[in-house]
Chains A and B, each alone.
Chain A
Amino acid sequence: MSTNINNSPLGAGGIEQQLWSYIDGHSSSEERSFIEKLLQSNLEWKNKYHELLDIHQLMNTSELEQPSLRFTKNVMERIAQYHIAPATKNYINKKIIWGIAAFFITLITGFLIYGFAQIDWNDKSDSTLPVDLSQVDFSKIFNNNFVNGFMMVNVLLGLVLLDRVLANKRKKFQKQA
Chain B
Amino acid sequence: MSTGLGDNEIISRVLRGEQNAYAELVNRYQGYVFTLILRMVKSREDAEEIAQDVFVKAYRSLADFRGESKFSTWLYTITNTTSITFLRKKKLEVHSLDNEKVFEAADNKDSGFRANLIEQKSRVNMVNEAISMLSPDDAEIITLFYKAEQSLEEISRILRLETNTVKVRLHRARGRLKEKMEKNFSEEVKNI
Contacts and interface: CB of A to CB of B under 8 A. Distances in A.
Interface of A: 13, 16-17, 20-21, 26, 52, 54-55, 58-68, 71-72, 74-76, 78-80, 82-90
B174 interface: yes
B106 interface: no
B102 interface: no
Contacts, number: 112
B55 A67 contact: no
Interface in B29-75: 30-32, 34-35, 38, 47-48, 51-52, 55-56, 59-64
B60 A55 contact: no
Contacts of B26: 71-72, 75-76
Contact of A84 (B14, B55, B146): B14
A59 B20 contact: no
Interface in B111-140: 123-124, 126-128, 131
B51 A79 contact: no
Contact of A61 (B31, B35, B124, B170): B124
A80 B123 contact: no
B31 to A, nearest CB: 4
B142 interface: yes
A47 B172 CA distance: 19
B48 A67 contact: yes
Contacts of A65: 31, 34-35, 38, 47, 128
